[in-house]
Structure 1
Amino acid sequence: MSRRVDGVSVCIVRLMRVDGREIPVTGSLLQPLTRRTSDIIRVVLAAIGVGVVVAGSLITRPEWLALERSVSKIVDFLSQDQSTMVYLVYGMLILALPFAILIELVVRRQWKLLAGYAAAGLLAALALSITGAGISTPKWHLPVPDRFDTFLAQFLDDPRWIAMLAAMLTVSSPWLPVRPRRWMWFLLLMFAPIHLLVSSVVPARAMLGLVVGWLVGAVIVWLVGTPALEVPLEAAVRVLARRGYTVRAFRVDRPAGRGPLLLATEVDGPESELVVEMYGKNQRSFGAVKQLWRWITFRSSETAPLHGSMHRAVEHRALLGIAIGDLGMADCRQVAVAGLDRGWMLYAHTVPHGTPIQKLSAQVLPGVWRSLLRLHENQISLGDLQPGNVRVHQGDTLFGGFAAAEFGASESQRQTDIAQLLVTTTSLYGKHEAVSAAIEVLGESTVVTAARRLTKSAMPTGIRKSVPDWTKVMATAREEIREQTGHDRIQSAQLTRFTRNQIIQLVLLFALVYVAYPFFSQVPTFFSQLRTLNWWWALLGLVITALTYLAAAVALGACADWVVKMRYLFLEQLANTFVATTTPAGVGGLALSVRFLQQAGMTTMRATAAVALQQSVQVITHVVLLIVFSVVAGTSTNLAHIVPDATVLYLAAGVGVGLIGAFMFVPKLRRWVNQSVRPQLTEVLGELADLARDPIRFSLIVGGCGAITLGKAFALWVSVEAFGGGTDFVAVTIVTMIGGTLASAAPTPGGVGAVEAALIGGLAAFGVPAEIAVPAVLLYRVLTCWIPVALGWPIMRWMGEKEMI
């Protein structure tokens, strides 16, 4: 059906009859298929339930059995005949439950649901029928045996039947009336108390069937979507009628989804048109989760009090609209707030009047800032100053939205308002006009303080969506404020409870505890050997270790053309050890070095090339030294114990060839190599060529890299000598280079565990006794790894505070 409105043909979805009147509804009321918050929470809870039941069955099932037997004896007040009758009645109800659900759906004409209903039951039963030998079919004996309760027990205790019921009830619950749905769930969940009542143990497999069925149904509802619940427009019409507005027609401007259902409403009354916003159950759950997330992640001064329900949230918005309207700065008038059927909420207001500021010139900016200042003087913050929420009518600035507005706003919330309006006005009128108007009205100190909140955390979703390239606009506004006020630097304010750096450091600290655990388990053995330790050798090893970090700092400084002072390079190498030890393959250390050089003023490309150059020279130097010392060792040295078997080498070579082929023939990988790897490789090769023509720089880099390798070998040799010795320096050097290289491929952060095993095995291959090799390697790791790690943690925090990384 269609009709003409202002010369345009529009589609009318249906005619709604309310109190004898027909009201046309234009547009679709169907809610779009979204991953609703309540559906996601249901899946998560169901998955947790499966984990709890499985863990309980494997770990604490004996204790649960004893507890159930004790409880069954306590509640054992029924005779044998009474227990049989209770079991018989409940079994019949359980047997009839799926048919009751089916009849309820047919009566309510939910034909489309029947496929999902059947699929849920079949999938749940199939999930519990899969065994190691294939699919086990249910063995339900339909002929009635001598005892009818024994026949019903086949269904009552069969996990597949319980899973089918739970899955079908979960899928059909959104379509069922509240009272029948609650009774059906009560009946299904009663199987556990019934078992205790008749003095029997609750079968673990039945509990597993319950949670698996719930999970299967929850996943189906999540994938397919909850029903497009019928919008209670009739109730909305009656609410507006009581407010003196007779509804003539509805037009859907925006379907319900993440936001409310937005209806343009033609009415007879003081206004000719109203805006009706209707919030469904999804908005309730999504809003609650969003509030909770902000409360957890943001500081208490940055968050508003939590709303206990959707009704309170909508009511709060309307009340703030009334308060701002009393100041003459609201772009609309609140008409009605009401709770409707099926959990819906109605919020009606007049059509916003005034011209959006994006359609006006920069001359309105001083008035906009004065209006915001007046709101702040009345302790009101808006919290969402996107362009569509700021209008001008007859020279007066009007505000809309009010969803994030607060009465009795804190100073931090008022500063956030200023930061948001700076972003909005900068995107519309340019940085100079926006910042100049703000400084003229608010003053330099206020604007500079608010500029600290030009961060992602302070920008709500509305501004991020409505302001093109909002991150660049924020940076532009901050830079303009710095130039106009003469401030050298504007430090970003911390709105969240934890900064990104603090989170990274916390993760690294947990990783350090994890990777250090194997070392802690060997500490008692290590301490028992300390009575034979020569402390002068240990002190020499510590000095040698410090010199390796000095050599690494020299090598990195020469690669980076000395853009950083030597003492800071040395400290960065200590912090680098902490990060490299807590990340697999030491990638965190490389990233930290690149970040350190970036903060020192180098470009990303140049900093990456400098680190890559150091690593390249390090690898080349390492290989050359390995060849030299292997030749020096002579043929008498048996390296077979620390060199992998030929099969392993062939396998590694095959994997390498396969990777090369993949990068050659897979288009995406080939493009990545050409666009990302090739420029870096060209840069490194160019640096190597320049390095060959600069003997002083060449000597510093190669000498520093060689000193790192030889220093580590010397530290291991000193550690062996500290416990009595047993081999020469050449052998220890080979062990350090070959064993360390093989262990560096281990996936454990810092090579913890792999390095120790490789070095102990290598020393044993050269004839070092285990009672010397084991404590020597542990001392070596203490000197070269754990002491630098302990120093690196506070150094990294200090460098973070100084914004050096």
Structure 2
Amino acid sequence: MRSRDIDAAAIRRTAAGLLSSFWSRPRVRRPLDLARLLLALAGLVVLATVVVLAGAGMPDPTALVPAVPARTLTRRAISLVNAASSLAILGILAVVALRALRFRRFAVTSALLSCGLGVLAGWLLPEGVRLLAGHASAQVLIGPPVQSAGIPVTAAIALFVGADLQRRRWWLVSRLAVAVVVGCSLLLGSLTVPSAAYAVLVGICAGLAVRVSLGVVPARPSELAIRTVLERGGLPVTSFQPHDDAAGRITYLAADGTGRTLVVTVIDPDRRGVPLARRAGRVVRLRAAVVGHPALSLRGQLERRALTTSLTTAAGVTAPQVLALLSAGRALVLVEQPIGGEPLRAAADGAVPSDLGPAFAALRRLHGTAVAHGALSAETVLVQPDGGVGFADFTLAQPAATELQRELDVVALLVAAAVVVGVAPAVAGLRSGYLSDAVAEARLSALLQPLVLPRPTRRALRGTSVLADLRAALAHPAVARAAGRPPRLERLRPRTVVSVVGGTVAAYVLATQLSHVNLAQVFAHARLGWLGAAVLASAVTYVGAALALHAFVLVRLPLGRTTLVQLASSFLALVTPPTVGHVGLNIRYLQRSGVPAATAAADVAVKEAVTVAVTVPVLLVCGWLSGVSGSRLSLLPSGDVLVVLAATAAAVAVVAVLPPTRRLAWRRLQPLVRQTVPQLVAALSSPRRLVLAVTGVLVLDAGYVLALGASLRAFSAELPITVLVVVYLAASAIGSAAPTPGGLGAVEAALVGGLTATGIPVAIAIPAVLVFRAATFWLPAPLGWGAFVLLQRRGRI
């Protein structure tokens, strides 16, 4: 081959290598980039939506930050600062480009594409706004028509974000320079507040969009770089291979010159934040006393793991030995020598002796260093060939652990051991190895909850009675009573979350409706006499509830005192879901009156069952009667009532169809049915008691219906009594299913919806419902508190 051909081939290879360096592989996509892009896009959408919807009603953007007057010394000084900052941005871009050409050429490609996308988006989006809302709205986003700095700011930000300067030398300086330029542009009038926000958001979105779509050059060190770092740290390795690539970190198995096995864990800078949601969710759900103060960053988590493992081995507990904690660029490298042995789950194969005392003894020594493991399971407890026990995986370990955290460790080991070898050997190992006493075992019994167990242990528990058997084995009734209530482990219960969400939605619905009503004007024309009638009708409901309870109690009770108890339950309705506080208070009242606990619960349950049995036929009959008039007889309810009934039936059907809610309803109703059937049969055999119960339920419902009717008449509106019954009972059923205290929010929304569905204008329905709830829910509460205190002082509840 001629030399000329060789030179041409070399030139082609060099050119191909040069081009490939500007489009390097492999590339990765960072999860945090996607999260930031979604957040920036949400801000951009909100800004554009506000501009489009506000239209001509939007205040003058220049009035938010007035421009500095021309021909003043201040303006000249700001102009000089602006010019200097602009030159600084150009200088930083030049330095970044030169460094990228030397070390990270793909950053140049990404930055140029980001700049082009940012300029294009900055020009196209206002054109779309111009078509939707006119020229004035588009001008708000663009900024001043003359010498606007929007596009240059967008281009500069897109370049910096696309070049992926994060955590690099010029990142902080570039942000500071851009911030100075934006501030000077606002003062000089070349940007307004909306246009500045628009320029910044478009630039950020453009840069992140390119990074998410094309990826970035991995910051994770290569295997060769890690081996070099290990060699510099005095740990040269002869073999090195990937073992596990988990979220945010990768583990390698290596061997040194002596044949010793090493585990090398490397934090991946590109995937930091992946486990953040999981750890943050654990912090939000569980109390700090349970989770301690977990490190939310992967780097902090690895540093804590190295610390706790070192403390553990220093105390003579068998655990992985930390050999080095090294830095490899932006990554962190942890080198450990793992421990041998078989996991505890191998006990079924005979690899683990039935005596688990050494395992609990090792855990006791670990807790002696004030370290809690935090993730004990049948996988992380290792049995050594000599019979000793060690612990692996200190990822969730906590130094300076509290007593509760150490107790949760004991519970986790106890449950894991019981699943593998049985309850009796696990409890025997606890008593011989951890040296527990009766008081400690009473606390451990209270902490036997799936909530705080590691996920593998929770999976192994499914379909077993291990927890119940452990509680029975650790039972010390007298000691448990002396030990007091167990600590609450949850910060937010699912019911609390549902209550907050439901209350928020209901409040939003009501607030939206209230925005269309001038309450001051409506209440100014209210008829006060009917307001008083609503309050009196509300008072009747407590008498009806007392009569219904009297019907099923064999002990003679004063009607006045029983009515006072029903009034006291209105105070509990402020803090408990519907019927919960009412039922509990009635049971307590009957017990204080000499009724046995089981009988009291059955009496109250029968009263609630009869209330439902009477209310449902009343609802159906009134629904049918709503279609009857003097001129026609229809076998169907009126159209308005059909809407209310259909909505109620749909809500009940959704609850009945979903398996979780169906199982929950059956779990709640099954004990109730078993308790109430004998009492219900006894009640049906006594006509007097049955009539008294039905009368009490009818008086109770009639009081609420009359209060709703009076509330409507206070605002010069009315409905037929049958329609009122349907609307109230349907709303009451929906409110009883709501987990909020007293059905707050759900009852109001259901009543407003029912009244408007029957033809009542929303401007009347909302104040009427507010008056009704004030008369039946808010006004009785202070009186109920007084009744509650009085009954407590007299020992009646």
TM-score using structure 1 length: 0.65
1:107 aligns with 2:119: no
- In structure 2, relative to structure 1, the CA distance for the partners of 1:98 and 1:737 (3 Å cut) is farther
Contact preservation (8 Å) 2:231, 2:237 = yes
SS at match of 1:368: helix
C-alpha separation between the residues in 2 aligned to 1:511 and 1:390? Answer: 47
1:257 alignment partner in structure 2 = 247
Pick aligned residue for 2:342 from 331, 336, 355: 355
Match for residue 422 of structure 2? Answer: 430
Q: CA deviation at 1:720?
A: 10
Superposed CA offset, 1:222-262 (max 9, x none) = 6876654342434432332234332223211112424x210
Query: Aligned AA for 1:431?
Result: V
Asked whether 1:338 is paired with 2:326, we answer: yes
- Render the CA deviation track for 1:161-183: whole Å, top value 9, x for unaligned: 7556645654x344889346666
Look up the match of 2:16. Answer: none
Q: Aligned with 1:386: secondary structure?
A: coil
Q: Which residue of 2 aligns with 1:450?
A: 444
The residue that corresponds to 2:305 in the other structure is 317
What is the CA deviation profile of residues 111-160 of structure 1, one whole-angstrom value per residue up to 9, with x for unaligned ones? 799988877776665544423636999xxxxxxxxxxxx99946x334xx
Aligned to 1:468: 459
Alpha-carbon deviation of 1:609? Answer: 13
Please say if 1:737 is aligned against 2:725.
yes
**Partners of 1:775 and 1:445 in 2: CA distance:** 57
Could you tell me how far 1:195 is from its partner in structure 2?
1.9
Cα 1:86/1:328, change in 2 over 3 Å: closer
Q: 1:276, CA displacement in angstroms?
A: 0.3
Counterparts in 2 of 1:227 and 1:87: CA distance versus 1, 3 Å: closer
**Aligned residues of 1:355 and 1:391 also touching (Cα < 8 A):** yes
Residue 480 of structure 1 aligns to a residue in which SS? Answer: helix
> Is the aligned partner of 1:371 residue 2:341?
no
2 CA distance for matches of 1:713 and 1:135? 49
1:794 and 1:39 map into 2 onto residues whose CA distance is 56
In the alignment, structure 1 residue 266 sits paired with structure 2 residue 266: no
Counterpart of 2:150 (choices 128, 149, 157) is: 157
Deviation, structure 1 residue 778: 7.0
Match of 2:197 in 1: 207
TM-score by length of 2: 0.65
Aligned positions of 1:603-618 closer than 5 A: 615=612, 617-618=614-615
User: For the structure 1 residues 650 and 700, does the alpha-carbon distance in structure 2 shift closer, same or farther, using more than 3 Å as the test?
Assistant: closer
Q: Secondary structure at the match of 1:108?
A: helix
Task: Give the conservation status (yes or no) of the 8 Å contact 1:329–1:396.
Answer: no
Residue 205 of structure 1 aligns with an amino acid whose one-letter code is S
Root-mean-square deviation (CA, aligned residues, Å) is 6.8
Contact preservation (8 Å) 2:374, 2:405: yes
CA contact (8 A) 1:538 1:719 kept: yes
What one-letter code is carried by the residue in structure 2 that aligns with 1:44? Answer: L
What letter matches 2:131 in structure 1?
A: A
**1:41-68: CA deviations, max 9, x gaps?**
5643664587589879979965873544
Q: Name the counterpart of 1:401.
A: 393
- Is 1:389 the equivalent of 2:380? yes
Give the aligned residue type for 1:193. G
Question: Counterpart amino acid of 1:384?
Answer: A
State the partner residue of 1:549. Answer: 545
Q: Which letter maps to 1:380?
A: V
Counterpart amino acid of residue 752 in structure 1? E
For 1:484 and 1:169, locate their aligned partners in 2 and report how far apart those are by CA, in whole Å: 63
* Paired residue type of 2:129: T
Q: Matches of residues 713-732 of structure 1 in structure 2 within 5 Å?
A: 713-715=705-707
Match of 1:415 in 2: 407
Are 2:34 and 1:44 equivalent residues in the alignment? no
Q: Output the CA distance in 2 between the equivalents of 1:732 and 1:216.
A: 62
1-structure distance, mates of 2:216, 2:784: 52
Equivalent AA in structure 1 for residue 540 of structure 2: I
Contact 1:575 1:792 in 2 (8 A): yes
Deviation (angstroms), 1:277: 0.2
SS in 2 for 1:339: strand
Distance 1:327 1:740, change over 3 A: closer
Q: For residues 752 and 365 of structure 1, do their structure 2 counterparts lie closer, same or farther at Cα, with a shift above 3 Å needed?
A: same
Shift of the 189–579 alpha-carbon distance from structure 1 to 2, 3 Å rule, reads: farther
- Counterpart of 1:621 in structure 2 is 618
* 1:240 and 2:236 aligned: no
> Residue 628 of structure 1: CA displacement?
6.1
Partner SS, residue 347 of structure 1: strand
Per-residue CA deviation, residues 760-793 of structure 1 (Å, 9 max, x unaligned), is 999999xxxx9xx999987654433334566899
Is the contact between residue 248 and residue 266 of structure 1 (CA under 8 Å) also seen in structure 2?
Answer: yes
Q: What does 1:570-581 correspond to in 2, within 5 Å?
A: none
Tell me the CA shift for residue 493 of structure 1: 2.5
Q: Which letter does structure 2 place at the counterpart of 1:710?
A: A
After superposition, the C-alpha distances for 1:618-677 in whole angstroms (9 at most, x for unaligned) are 23313424666997xx749x99xxx9997x789999x99x999xx9xx9xx99989x999
2:775 equivalent to 1:783: yes
Q: Does the C-alpha gap of structure 1 residues 567 and 50 become closer, same or farther in structure 2, counting only changes over 3 Å?
A: farther
Report the secondary structure of 2:262's partner residue.
strand
Q: Retained in 2: the 8 A contact 1:382–1:404?
A: yes
In the aligned structure 1, how far is the partner of 2:457 from the partner of 2:236? 34
Please report how far the alpha carbon of residue 396 of structure 1 lies from its aligned counterpart in structure 2 after TM superposition. 2.0
- Pick aligned residue for 2:128 from 122, 127, 130: 130
Taking the aligned partners of 2:289 and 2:251, their CA distance within structure 1 comes to: 32
Unaligned runs of at least 5 residues, structure 1? 1-28, 138-149, 559-565, 797-805
Q: Is the 8 A contact 1:376 1:414 kept in 2?
A: yes
Contact 2:414 2:427 survives alignment (8 Å): yes
Match for 1:239: what amino acid?
V
1:348 partner letter: V
Deviation digits for residues 254-307 of structure 1, max 9, x if unmatched? Answer: 12424x210011321x44321100012256545777666666665454454565
Cα distance, 1:345 vs. partner?
0.2
How far apart are 1:384 and its partner, in Å?
Answer: 2.0
Q: Helix, strand or coil: the match of 2:241?
A: strand
Equivalent AA in structure 2 for residue 437 of structure 1:
G
Following superposition, the deviation at residue 449 of structure 1 comes to: 1.4
- Equivalent positions of 1:652-663 (< 5 A) are none
Query: What SS is found at the alignment partner of 1:493?
Result: coil
Deviations 1:19-42 (A, max 9, x none): xxxxxxxxxx989867x3564356
Q: Aligned equivalents of 1:751 and 1:361: distance in 2? A: 59
Aligned position for 1:485: 475
1:696-731 deviation per Cα after TM superposition (whole angstroms, max 9, x unaligned): 69767765554443333455678899x9x999xx98
Between the two proteins, the alignment pairs up a number of residues equal to 705
1:344, distance to aligned residue in structure 2 (A) = 0.4
SS at match of 1:406: coil
**Residue 383 of structure 1 contacts residue 404 of structure 1 at CA under 8 Å; is this kept in 2?**
yes
